[in-house]
Amino acid sequence: MIKDTVLNALNKQIKLEGDSSQLYLAMASWAEVKGLEGTANFLYAHADEERMHMLKLIKFINERGGKAFVPQIEEPKQDFSTLKDVFTAILNHECFVSDSINDIVGLTLEQKDYATHNFMQWYVSEQIEEEKLARNVLDKLEMIGSDKGGLYLFDRDIVTISVESSQE
Q: Is 17 annotated as a binding residue?
A: yes
Q: Is the pLDDT of residue 51 over 90?
A: yes
pLDDT (mean) for 138-149: 92
Q: How many domains does the chain have?
A: 1
- Other beta carbons within 10 angstroms of residue 146's beta carbon come to 8
The pLDDT score that the predictor gives to residue 159 is 77
Q: What is the predicted pLDDT for the residue at 146?
A: 87
Q: How would residue 161 be classed by pLDDT, with cut points 50, 70 and 90?
A: confident
CB atoms within 10 A of CB 88: 16
Task: Output phi, psi for 76, to 5 deg.
Answer: -85, 170
- 118: domain CATH number? 1.20.1260.10
Domain of residue 114, residue span? 4-167
Q: Is the per-residue pLDDT at 99 higher than 60?
A: yes
Among 63-67, 119-123, 146-150, where is mean pLDDT lowest?
Answer: 146-150
Would you say 111 is a known binding-site residue? Answer: no
